[in-house]
Chain A
Amino acid sequence: MSKRWFASLFVMVLTLGSATAQSGTELRFCLWSEPKTFNPLLVQDDSSETVRYLTGGVLVRLNRQTQQLEPELATAWKTSRDGRTITFALRQNVKFSDGTAFSAEDVAHTIQQMMDPNLHSPTGDSFRSGEGKVETKVLWADKIAILFPAPIAGLDKLFDQVAIMSAKSPKKERAVLGPYYVAEYKAGSHLNLERNPNYWKHDSSGHQLPYIDSVRLDIQQNRDIEILRLLRGEIHLVNSLNAEYFDKVIAEKPALVHDAGPSMDSEQIWFNQVASAPLPAYKKAWFGSTNFRRAISESINREDLSRVVFRGHARPATGPVSPGNQFWFNTRLQPHPFDQKAAMKRLEQDGFRVQNGALRDKDGNAVEFSVVTNAGNRYRERMATMIQQDLAGIGIKLHVVTLDFPSLIERIARTFNYEACLLGAVNIGLDPSEQMNIWLSSAENHQWNPGQKAPETAWEAEIDRLMRAQASELNEKKRKEYFDRVQEIAWEQEPFIYLVNRNALSAISTSVQNAHPVVLRPQVFWNIDRLSLGSEVAQK
């Protein structure tokens, strides 16, 4: 009987030990560059974003697993019918890391700072909906209303990026509401984040979070060294891996790696459709033809790209939204199949024909063009080389040109002296409004033909109308209908020929518990306050 009692006590101690704060435990991983700022409103780079995520307290948080918004410092929120006002009910008895009390005044202070045009806050840019000032009304100590000059679609989700700063603390942005605060920073070496003693969140058993005592972020630019350190057990996780590193780790320690499926990132090709571009008229005619673009698309073997270039850690892409985006992805669409016979039929409709193995247009011009991509990116170089062989199958000669990034941008954004371009898109947000700068024909990032004064094609006019309609609509179902149609037009017209969605790959030590890697950033430590360390702690 006494043995059983002791055994039960032992199990209880072990359970409590893993669930409660672990004294002296330290999670270690690497930042790939120096954080540029600790001001959460000025964050632009990945390293600063990591520090903001680990230290910043937000009103609402997008759960990276369910992709649903969850209450954090705000217990409830409501957006007005006109989409211009959002009201937050705030959590009470919350303190900053330095002991300063949290109130609606801090939220008002943060919003005013963020919208200050002199600060040039990148976070604030997402909230700039129209001419006029953003106003804040402190209704009570725990209730605040924020008024915008024009409606913003998906307004509440934008607050996931807004870390609340203290209006009164002498420590300014160093006083935080997140699970950790920056305790030490050695430039070029590391950051030490210590547990916020005043963090408001508790688990279901009433234990204060986070479980892990501190986080050490080593600044390590060399990815090879990072992987070797992971394999040696010196760090606990690598948030994002490429396919080669994934295979390298899996060969040595298969339990460490995780493939969370298609990420939000995509790789695509587009043709230059700028009317004033310095290209021969016959080439402009090719690139402006839907049949030509569709034929090129159908001549590319996306399955092979995924399998060979990304070693199976990518999926053929369908359109601007990855299947990883659970709500906004249009499930009616499928990736364009590899079908060179169908491609030839489309080309024949436009008068193209094959002569002596070379494809020629109706005027006898041999179909030959170049695709530019950024030098040094092995994946894109390999994709371009595979596409070169695919297109040779229908008699098209493709020249692969790799350029340094500034030269590439000069060509695709200023001189428009290029024919086709292969690049990727990194989508951080889920909401279609974040793609307005790509799909509106007047936008500068409407890459195939940017900055149009009026839409030059009927389908672009239709996309403009749908994107504006979804942005001003508050009903999510209607917004989805509008954006589904945008995806269908993009699929039919193929201004971007989407190639693949890369999978979200990561590696985590088996000693890290409660880790559930997801496709949204930060893939591994999105639930940092719930992670705990088991017995197999990384060696110093």
Chain B
Amino acid sequence: MKWVRRAAIIFLLAVALACVFAERLAPADYAHQFRDIPDAPASAAHWLGTDDLGRDRFSRVLHGTRISLLLAPAAALIASFLAAVVGGTAGFVGGALERAVMSGTDLFLSLPWFFLLITVRALMPLNVSPITSVIITFALLGCLGWAAAARVVCADARSLKNSDFALQARASGSSGYRLLRHHLLPNLRPVLYAQFWISIPVFILTEANLGILGLGVSEPLPSWGSLLRELEGYSSVTSNAWQFAPLLLFISVVSCFHLVVLDRELPA
């Protein structure tokens, strides 16, 4: 299956390069409205047609991909880091601390975060630039999305702590730090990787959902979330197949991410 992984890597690299050179590749400004041709099909001037306001869809996909591919992994990194710290510490130390931390995590999971996010948006100043708004959105998602992953990491850390090799290391006189640094953390890495990769599409979709509630990316900045909103509802879906390009790209990129990760994690 090496060729599949290679193909996935090449595809991801191509997408990343296209995003880096978005300004050069985009045939038009992503915000410019060609008002005479809204919902236009693909043409030489507009490779993926135009959206409902006449904006060049290819340019918006390029810029939207750049934003989502940069910020969703950043948010996933924050969430995975917090999950590693909270879950790893609780699982490693165990006892009362683990119970207390896991109770706190359960409480965190049970809070109505969606409504809290709405409240946060309502409290934010109104004159915020679109790019600041999108950074705040993903930062919030990263800060709030660690709890479920922390439970998984905690369970894994607990089981690793009680494993034979950990007991042997302890019996050989390894300190707690050494045990954590050289034995537990390397073995937690696959779980953290998995949590990281799982979080990316989740955060992208959450951003899309938040967009409907006003916490997403502000206009005119595109993101995958705002691009996917074009397909919201039966009435929005037209016979114009190019409308599905952002969805296709989203599925392809997420699938490629999974292929790369799975191939790396699964034994040969």
Binding site for B on A (CB under 8 A): 223-224, 227-228, 242, 244-245, 247-248, 251, 304, 307-309, 368-370, 372, 374-376, 378, 381-382, 384-386, 388-389, 399-404, 407, 410-411, 417-419
Contact = CB atoms under 8 A, between A and B. Distances in A.
B53 A385 contact: yes
Contacts of A400: 218-219
A376 B219 contact: no
A376 B216 CA distance: 11
Contacts of A376: 212-214
B107 interface: no
B235 A227 contact: yes
B46 interface: no
A419 B235 contact: no
B178 interface: no
Contact of A401 (B33, B53, B213, B218): B218
Interface in B203-245: 212-215, 218-220, 232-236, 239
A385 to B, nearest CB: 4
A224 B129 contact: no
Contact of B214 (A370, A378, A404, A418): A404
Contact of B127 (A247, A369, A381, A410): A369
B122 interface: yes
A400 B121 CA distance: 13
B84 to A, nearest CB: 33
18 contacts: A223-B233, A223-B235, A227-B234, A307-B35, A308-B52, A370-B127, A375-B212, A384-B219, A386-B53, A389-B31, A389-B220, A399-B126, A399-B128, A403-B214, A404-B121, A404-B214, A407-B118, A407-B119
A159 to B, nearest CB: 38
B126 A419 contact: yes
Interface in B11-31: 31
B122 A372 contact: no
B120 to A, nearest CB: 10
A228 B234 contact: yes
B214 A401 contact: yes
B219 A381 contact: yes
Nearest to A405: B214
Given A242-B235, A376-B213, A308 B35 contact: yes
B234 to A, nearest CB: 4
Contacts of A228: 234
Given A388-B219, A402-B214, 6 more contacts: A308-B52, A309-B53, A385-B220, A386-B35, A388-B220, A402-B218
Nearest to B124: A401
For the residues of A in contact with B, the DSSP-based class is: helix
Contacts of B128: 399
Contacts of B52: 308, 382
B94 interface: no
Nearest to A384: B219
Interface string B113-140: 0000011011000111110000000000
Interface in B47-70: 52-54
Given A399-B218, A407-B121, A418-B126, A224 B35 contact: no
Nearest to A248: B235
| Ranked 9 nearest A-B pairs via Cβ | A375-B214, A407-B122, A224-B234, A244-B235, A402-B214, A370-B126, A385-B219, A400-B219, A245-B235
Nearest to A410: B122
B129 A399 contact: yes
Interface of B: 31-33, 35, 38, 52-54, 118-119, 121-122, 126-130, 212-215, 218-220, 232-236, 239
B97 to A, nearest CB: 38
A384 B33 CA distance: 13
Contacts of B119: 407
A270 to B, nearest CB: 15
Contacts of B235: 223-224, 227, 242, 244-245, 247-248
B238 to A, nearest CB: 8
A403 B122 contact: yes
Nearest to A407: B122
A389 B33 contact: yes
A388 B31 CA distance: 10
A195 B121 CA distance: 51
B234 A372 contact: no
Contacts of B212: 375-376
B210 to A, nearest CB: 9
Given A375-B212, A375-B213, A224 B233 contact: yes
A223 B233 CA distance: 9
Q: Which interface residue of B127, B215, B236 has the most chain A CB atoms within 10 A?
A: B127
Nearest to A243: B235
B126 A372 contact: yes
Contacts of A378: 232
A404 B118 contact: yes
Contacts of B214: 374-376, 401-404
A121 to B, nearest CB: 33
Contacts of B233: 223-224, 244
Nearest to A376: B212
Nearest to B126: A370
A286 to B, nearest CB: 14
A419 B125 CA distance: 11
Contacts of A418: 126
A70 B234 CA distance: 41
B231 to A, nearest CB: 12
A245 B54 CA distance: 19
Contacts of B219: 381, 384-385, 388, 400
B114 to A, nearest CB: 10
Contact of B35 (A248, A304, A374): A304
Contacts of A245: 235
A329 B27 CA distance: 46
Contacts of B236: 244
Nearest to A375: B214
A331 B213 CA distance: 40
A385 B219 CA distance: 6
B128 to A, nearest CB: 7
A224 to B, nearest CB: 4
B213 A404 contact: yes
A188 to B, nearest CB: 22
Nearest to B212: A376
B38 A308 contact: yes
Contacts of A375: 212-215
A471 to B, nearest CB: 37
Contact of B53 (A242, A308, A369, A370): A308
Contacts of B126: 370, 372, 399, 401, 417-419
